[in-house]
Amino acid sequence: MIAVYLILLIPFSGSVILALQNDPDRSRRYNKGFNALSLFCSIWLAVEVLLKGPLLFSGKQFYIDSFNVYLVVLTAFVGLTTALFSGAYMQHEWEAGKITPRRLRFYYSAYQAFMFTMFLVLTTNNMGLLWVAMEGATLATVLLVSLYRTPEAVEAAWKYFILCGVGIAQALFGTILLYFAAEQVEGIRPDEALLWTTLHENAALLNPGVMSIAFVFLLIGYGTKMGLVPLHNWLPDAHSEGPTPMSAILSGLLLNDALYAVVRSKMLVDQSLASHLPGYLMMGFGLLSFLVAALLLHHQKDIKRLFSYSSIEHMGLMTFAFGIGTPWAVFAGLFHMTTHSLTKSAIFVTVGHASQLAGTQRIDKIRGLINTQPAVGWGLLIGTLAIAGFPPFGVFASEFLVLIATMRDYPWLTPLLLIGIGIAFAGLFRHLQPMVFGPLPEGRQAIQANMTPVVLHLLLVLWLGISLPFFLGNWFNQATQLIAGSLPL
Amino acid sequence: MPMTLFFALLSVLMALLSAVSSWAYSRRALVEYLLNRIFAFDSSRLVKVALFLEPDYYARAMRIVPFCLLGVSGALAVLTGLLQLLGADSAAMILPFGLPGLSWHVRLDALSGFFFLVLGMPLIAVSLFGPGYVREFEHKKSLAVLGFFTGLFVAGMEMVLLADDTFFFMIAWELMSVASYFLVAFQHEQPESRRASFLYLLMAEIGALCIILGFGVLVTFAEGFSFGHIRGVALTPLWASVAFALGLAGFGMKAGLMPLHAWLPEAHPAAPSHISALMSGVMLKIAVYGFIRYSFDLLPQVYWQWGVIVMALGAVSAVLGILYALQQQQLKRLLAYSSVENIGIIFLSIGLALVFFSTGQSQSGALALLAALLHSFNHAQFKTLLFLGAGAILHQTHETSLEKMGGLIRRMPKTAALFLAGTLSIASLPPLNGFVSEWLTFQAALQANQLQSGVLRSFVPTAAAMLALTGALSAACFVKVYGIAFLGLPRSPHIAHARELTDRGMLAGLALPAALCIVVGIFPVPLIDGLRRVIENLTGAVLANITAAGWLWLTPAGAETASYSPGLVLAAFLAAGALGYVLLYRIRAVESRRAEPWDCGYGGLNAGMQYTSGAFSMPIRRIFDPVYDLRETLNQETGDSAGWRVTAIRYQFQADDKFVRFLYTPIGRSVTQSAYRLGRIQTGSIRTYLAYSFATLLFLLWVVS
Amino acid sequence: MAWLMAIGQPLLFILIAPLLTGWIKFVKCRLQNRKAPSLLQPYRDLRKLWVKETILPETASWIFSAAPVIVFAAILLAAAIVPLVAVNLPTARIADVFVMVGFFALARTFLVLAGMDIGTAFGGMGASREMTISSMAEPAMLMVVFTLAMSAQTTNLSLAMQYVLDSGLVLRPSFVFALAALMLVAIAETGRIPIDNPATHLELTMIHEAMILEYSGRSLALMEWASQIKLMLYGVLIANMFFPWHIATDFSLEALAEGLLAIVLKLAALSVLLAFSETLLAKMRIFRVQEFLSFAYLLSVLGMLSHIILEVYYG
Amino acid sequence: MVNSLSVYQQAVMLMAALITLTSFLMLGQSRLLRLVGVFAVQGLLLSASTALVAYSMALPHLYISAALSLVIKGLLIPAMLFRLIMRMNLHREMDTVEHPARVIIGGASLVVFSYYVCLPIVKLSTLITLNTISVSLAVVLLGMLLMITRRHAVAQVVGFMSIENGLFFAAVVSTLGMPMVVELGIAFDVLVAAVIFGVFFFQIRSSIDSLDVDRLSQLSEVEE
């Protein structure tokens, strides 16, 4: 449990230190260093959980179980690799004169602050703190979105801030209702009334009416952060206008954590409500987001917007899976969270390089990547294949399970899934192919790119797809049992 | 682990190795480093290593090595297949991959064994043909990419054959699709190959989803993912039909069954020829395997309605496929359409088998199924041969259009001779292998008398009539191909200067399938004997008397009903031929002399006077006009103002298939349009967005309370 | 004895075929009030061609020289499995009726290839038309065969004829259709009026002659001979499949003699019929042919359906 | 019945009513300066009611939150907004609402709706002040309505903050205060948010030299 403190302490102090650090390349190295440290600690924590099982400590304020432990590791890992990438990327931006040293300093500081909030979201046991951290994540990233100060960037940041702010406010209302519902139950001390563990133990006693309303607010609140249609409108703008590493961590981490929050709340509400209402709500939102995003993929002009819509689509699929709530589906959802965040952040890394290569984010200006710089081209192509759910990459396994699970419990929904996946696939590839394939466009020369994160992520996803390591499998299984109530496989 | 399974896994491994080794093609530095580390201790080896690493030598070696490994893989596959056909019993094991509780099951039984055989033979041919053929890419494109994905592609197909649970099956299946996608996109500088690869991957994806959902139904009822669980599953007729429809859509999409064939004539020509050979010769058969496995092994029972549907689809694909093939001017495109036709024939037989099995006529059903399997084997052989032949022409002349060819038989005699074998067998002429399978199909159709329902009894022969039409048309089609490409006078200068293949390997690659076409055509009995075992193992139906009359005789339904002895036919044919030869050239022969062709005394014969490919197929174009989406242009240049004296006439035509225009294009358009409409809701004004979330909130609150 | 017959019958085909052609010409001339050539004229033509030297076009490949042999052999094999004077022919077991159709296809293929080999306009034209016509005639033929095979429960020609013989005179609607279809197919396949005109050259409507235009000397003779055998073969098919009466069922001399006489008479009658039709009808435009053949195809399919609908009973 | 309540509780009810009233006032208010003023009043009312609850229910820790809200919501944020308006000399800017009548009616129906939604909650509770929860929900919804109807950035910020007020009110009055750590966190977030808003005004101003958010609609999916 020292590990947890360290995990929270490192990025916090990191953000303070980096805020004071002037020299860009030193702060770049520090940034990597802090992330490396927190990755180390998170692995330490993982081992601890693996040996001891769930941890609950420091006045029950922190709770680590099989549901969030691997998310902690994942967050730390993606944070590190993205930090590696952002080193090269930010260097390039700086030399290109797009940002001043002051903003660079701010960038690194905010990066660590964001990591801190992410870890807090995952580790805390207090629904209120979870909300605070989630809001904090917005505050940490919102000024990153407007880092370039272009009108579009400012606009995107404004929308991000307002929409997420309002959304998250709903979540707070939901939290208050949770607290209220808990207060109604005898034997819950007020200072423990917001602890997830407490709520979960007494979930059956919580008043269903309150809980259902609370869930609505929580779903809308965290759903806004997750980019569920029709609350998603900030997401493509924020992704496309901010610096690419930020898009990578937004897609890779923030969305995951928002989903994590939603699922945690669902676990509470499921217990108290007899009905399957939360499930239906999530299924509805998920399917809607999935289909709308899939269609919107088709007329994208901006490469980062393209992939942010694909993020929405995948979040929709996961929400749908958790909404179904049967063991297979939940397992698939958990698995998908992992593989999606790995793959998508890898894709954003390559996208960043690609757009630097072409000097623009406009899809119709990016051509013949494979001939221009094979590493980037292949990275983008294979990454997209992976995200489109082709084996042997991991995303396939989860989509497979989702399809099977849907066919099992809601067969009449399968045509929608079928169409959706088909449309999404076509939407991605009709834009992707001209970018990676085709003859070498004149006047392009290779740039100095750091493809290590991409290779690492894709290899990991490949590994997960070919054979899931036993401990991860166990955690997924336990988490599934926790969420769905029975073992999947 | 049993021997056969060991061989099978080994051949998968070999394919993967070949992928890796060709990756090394572009990683010379790395290899050098490794080898130097390995052989650091003694300098004598180091010298050899240095020799090996000398760039030109390294390039040549690395061009050949992957294909050698592929060849080994093919040989092992053939070995596996033969052992299985000779009655080795099926073997299964579990590989330590996959998800917890969802690990990869592999199983090798007679059916998959047979398809290993189907896969192995063309693979060997390709691995012989390949090294010579890829030389032309050497400086233009990366052989590493080509070889890498070829290896993966082959491995994927072999894994599909081995897979024994839904999860692993889908992984292998998709691996096959993706790898071949990269191969189709290999020459991605040409826009058409980009378009082709996109369409291909899209349809492959959708087909795969259909299969997954089909499996989903089975898994749901079986409560387990492995085929072992599924085999015993009990389904209501409704769900069974849903599962079957999904499977038919999925596997049919991959097999190129109409109307799901649109990707096929685009993708096959776009790929390099040896890949087209693999895709057309083998991959389509993997789809057939999947369909047979799915409907005869996994689904608990079959219904005659399914059979009728499959038969109808097969018949349509067969007839339309060959009709479209007839109008193609690009050789490889023509071959692709003819693959659609052959798949149609195969599915027709499968449908026949479904009808028979569902009505309890297991004997006849087994016969029809046997015909389907045999035709799969045959098609694998001659389509490989033809695609490789097209590759040879392409390699020597860089020409794909039939309109430009002609007279190649005098410039590439060996290729021409081998290609002729392919032509005759795909035109299903006796005594070659194509005829045997067609003959068996007819024999199976003749059993329609045993069917109780009159509807079916009249439906089956109608399908047979379609089959007959197909056979005749395909004969016309391939006579055209051979006559236009190899006979007559060269229609363009670069064809006139064509040279015969010099690379022995390429010739061998052509010769192997040609030899198989002839041998199987003349002595089909051993193979059919093996197939009998396959079908017995699959469906439990025992075909007692098909090979009862000995190794020389085919008696599908008893000697009384029908009998065919290709061997004796060949003997008699040779005798008669000898007689003719003696009459012609021996008895007081008058020596012949060469002279200018008579041509009814017109004289001045030149290439322009010949019938072109388009002209040859013109009557059929007119007769079957409705099935084509025909665009013709005829412009005349007249010498004088009055326009009486026509100096030049240019006629161009394009006969596309109607499905693309009336099915695929509308779908694509509708998707784009709806995306456009949907875009309107995202106005960009933040107040609208706030209104969205506000409305959502109110709505949900109203819902819950 | 049986095998002797098996060898003998093809030889008989080879010998009689030209005579049949002569006889048709003879009847035709008489019908058209012309003075007929002698019945032996075809033999004379063959002998004339036999002694002439063969001229190979410069552009000819080995296909061109091999074609006559292959065509002749294929037609001969087809002849070898069709009972002429006696049923229970052993060779009919080696290759059944489908194989016979296959042989026709084989012969046609090489004929067409030879036609295209030289690269003349006529060759290509004949080839294209031949394939077009056959691609519609062959299915019809197969359907006729189907009908027969279905009612006889066998595809073995001699057994099928045996069956028709044993079942005596049964009025089968299917056979009526089949017979009509087969006659039309025969006319198309053997290149007679109204599809093709064996007597013409240099007409743009010709088909068969156009393909063998470049042949001369013995090769031409062989080709002609083969086509004559084919003509007779179709005649025998029609005769023995639908009216097999008096064909020899054992190999006693009188039976054989009876069989021979019977077939000769039948063929004679058929050729009179053919001559009549050729005198009365005019040659069709090439694009009318499809209607003719699709009618034949229709008839054959109708025949089969009527067999299934009207003749098969399950009690 | 109101008269069955203690005077303090009646006072709390009154406060609740007043807060709702301020929300309505904001909804109708078109001058930015007055808008901020009304917002400040709301903040003050909020802290007052908190203090009242703290006193009536004898919950000392609520005094802290009262103080918090007084400082942040009542003084700090309004002052900040005020200074901004002055520095950007927006004090003359009008942000007229189109169809004010409809907006007001809509707001009223929102109050009814929120009461209807909260009914099940109100029923089950013993806590009398509880039906204030419907008031706080109404304040939240009115805040959103304000943001939707206004096109001026400052007005939107005010709306946002009044949503926060509503939440705070709910937290304090109807649940008698959340755990301290949470409240501190919330307060901190609100503060930072306010600062960031300040930053944004300048960024927006410099990028489109106006604070009209309708001009911020470059990024959209509508095909030109």
Residue spans of the domains in chain C: they are 2-311
Residue C306, C-beta contacts closer than 8 angstroms, at least 6 positions apart? C173, C174, C177
Strands B593-595 and C55-57: parallel
* A421 at B interface, C-beta within 8 A: yes
Average pLDDT of every residue of chain A: 87
Predicted confidence at residue B49, as pLDDT, reads 67
* Residue whose token pair is 């030209």: C18
What is the rounded distance in angstroms from the CA atom of residue B269 to the CA atom of residue B333? 6
Q: Give kind and range of the element (H or E) at residue B102.
A: strand B102-108
Specify the higher pLDDT residue, B450 or C138.
C138
**Residue A266, SS3 per DSSP:** helix
| Residue A248: both structure tokens together | 């990578």
What is the rounded distance in angstroms from the CA atom of residue A147 to the CA atom of residue A98? 9
* B406 at C interface, C-beta within 8 A: yes
**Beta-bridge partner residues of B105:** B94
Cis upstream peptide for B526 (omega within 30°) = no
Q: What is the mean predicted confidence (pLDDT) over C262-267?
A: 89
| C-alpha distances in Å from residue B672, one per residue of A246, A434, B282, B665, D29 | 30, 17, 35, 11, 45
Minimal C-alpha gap between B671 and chain D (Å): 15
With 80 as the cut, is the pLDDT of residue A446 above it?
Answer: no
Contact criterion met (CB below 8 Å) for B463 and B489: no
Q: How many domains does chain A have?
A: 1
Q: How many domains does chain D have?
A: 1
What is the rounded distance in angstroms from the CA atom of residue B186 to the CA atom of residue B147? 11
CB neighbours (10 Å) of residue D62? 22
Closest by Cβ to D181, choosing from A129, A143, A161: A129
Does the distance separating the beta carbons of A128 and D203 come in below 8 Å?
no
Residues of D in contact with B674 (CB under 8 A): none
Q: Is residue D222 part of a domain?
A: no
What is the rounded distance in angstroms from the CA atom of residue B379 to the CA atom of residue D65? 83
What is the rounded distance in angstroms from the CA atom of residue B441 to the CA atom of residue B435? 10
Residues of A in contact with D171 (CB under 8 A): 176, 179
Minimal C-alpha gap between D202 and chain A (Å): 10
Band of pLDDT at residue A311, cut at 50, 70 and 90: very high
Residue B99: phi and psi, rounded to 5, are -90, 160
Q: Which of B638, B642, B662, B666 is nearest to B650 (CA)?
A: B638
Closest by Cβ to A403, choosing from B100, B205, B212: B212
Which percentage of chain C shows pLDDT scores above 90? 6
Minimal C-alpha gap between B390 and chain C (Å): 19
Minimal C-alpha gap between C279 and chain B (Å): 27
Contact criterion met (CB below 8 Å) for B205 and B254: no
Q: Is residue A480 part of a domain?
A: yes
Contact criterion met (CB below 8 Å) for A383 and A428: no
Q: Is residue A243 part of a domain?
A: no
Strands A62-64 and A55-57: antiparallel
Domain ranges (residues) in chain B: 605-658, 660-704
Q: Is residue A369 part of a domain?
A: yes
What is the rounded distance in angstroms from the CA atom of residue A56 to the CA atom of residue D197? 37
Q: Is residue A52 part of a domain?
A: no
**Residue B654, SS3 per DSSP:** strand
For residue A412, count CB atoms less than 10 angstroms from its CB and return exposed for 0-12, middle for 13-18, buried for 19 or more.
exposed
What angle do the packed helices B166-184 and B191-222 form, to 10 degrees?
A: 180
Q: Is residue D47 part of a domain?
A: yes
| Residue B14: both structure tokens together | 């070999």
C202-226 per-position pLDDT tens digit: 555 578 888 888 888 888 888 888 9
What is the rounded distance in angstroms from the CA atom of residue A199 to the CA atom of residue A197? 5
Q: Is residue D149 part of a domain?
A: yes
Cis upstream peptide for B431 (omega within 30°) = yes
* B672 at D interface, C-beta within 8 A: no
Q: Is residue D172 part of a domain?
A: yes
Residues of B in contact with C72 (CB under 8 A): 576, 580, 583
With 70 as the cut, is the pLDDT of residue A278 above it?
Answer: yes
What is the rounded distance in angstroms from the CA atom of residue A480 to the CA atom of residue D49? 45
Band of pLDDT at residue C315, cut at 50, 70 and 90: very low
Q: Which of A318, A424, A334, A415 is nearest to B213 (CA)?
A: A415
Name which of A87-96, C188-197, D91-100, D199-208 the model is least confident about. D91-100
Predicted confidence at residue B2, as pLDDT, reads 81
Q: Which of D100, D75, D95 is nearest to D35 (CA)?
A: D95
Domain limits at A303?
276-489
Q: Give kind and range of the element (H or E) at residue C10.
A: helix C2-31
CA atoms within 13 Å, Cβ hemisphere of D123: 9
CB neighbours (10 Å) of residue A82? 29
Closest by Cβ to A146, choosing from D170, D197, D203: D203
Q: Whole-model pTM?
A: 0.91
Residue B71 CA to its chain's centroid (Å): 19
Predicted confidence at residue D224, as pLDDT, reads 57
Q: What is the DSSP letter of D179?
A: -
With 70 as the cut, is the pLDDT of residue D126 above it?
Answer: no
Residue B68, C-beta contacts closer than 8 angstroms, at least 6 positions apart? B18, B127
Q: Is residue D174 part of a domain?
A: yes
Q: What is the mean predicted confidence (pLDDT) over C78-83?
A: 87
Average pLDDT of every residue of chain C: 85
Q: Is residue A318 part of a domain?
A: yes
Q: Which of C125, C115, C126 is nearest to C214 (CA)?
A: C115
Predicted confidence at residue C88, as pLDDT, reads 77
With 80 as the cut, is the pLDDT of residue A442 above it?
Answer: no
Band of pLDDT at residue A115, cut at 50, 70 and 90: very high
Alpha helices in D130-179 (DSSP H): 132-149, 153-169
What is the rounded distance in angstroms from the CA atom of residue B151 to the CA atom of residue B171? 16
What is the rounded distance in angstroms from the CA atom of residue D137 to the CA atom of residue D127? 17
Q: Is residue A34 part of a domain?
A: no
Q: What is the DSSP letter of C284?
A: P
Q: Which range has the top average pLDDT, A376-385, C85-94, C191-200, D164-173? A: A376-385
Band of pLDDT at residue A287, cut at 50, 70 and 90: very high
Q: Which of D73, D32, D28 is nearest to D168 (CA)?
A: D73
Residues 166-225 of A with CB under 8 A from D: 166, 169-170, 172-173, 176-177, 179-180, 183-184, 190-191, 193-194, 207, 209-210, 213
Q: Give kind and range of the element (H or E) at residue C9.
A: helix C2-31
Alpha helices in D1-74 (DSSP H): 7-28, 32-57, 61-69
Phi-psi category of residue D209: left, alpha or beta, with phi > 0 → left and psi -120 to 50 → alpha: left
**Residue B452, SS3 per DSSP:** coil
Predicted confidence at residue A389, as pLDDT, reads 86
Contact criterion met (CB below 8 Å) for A103 and A133: no
Does chain B touch chain D (at least 3 C-beta pairs within 8 Å)? yes
| Residue C141: both structure tokens together | 């033929």
Domain limits at D162?
2-214
Per-position DSSP letters for B567-605, written without gaps between them: HHHHHHHHHHHHHHHIIIIITTPPPPEEE---GGGT---
Predicted confidence at residue C122, as pLDDT, reads 84
Residues of B in contact with C61 (CB under 8 A): 409-410, 487
Predicted confidence at residue C34, as pLDDT, reads 87
Rg (CA), chain C: 19
A123-137 per-position pLDDT tens digit: 998 888 898 899 889
Give the residues of chain B that fall short of pLDDT 70. 40-52
Q: Which of A100, A108, A165 is nearest to A139 (CA)?
A: A165
| Residue B544: both structure tokens together | 């007692």
Residues 224-283 of C with CB under 8 A from B: none
Predicted confidence at residue D63, as pLDDT, reads 86
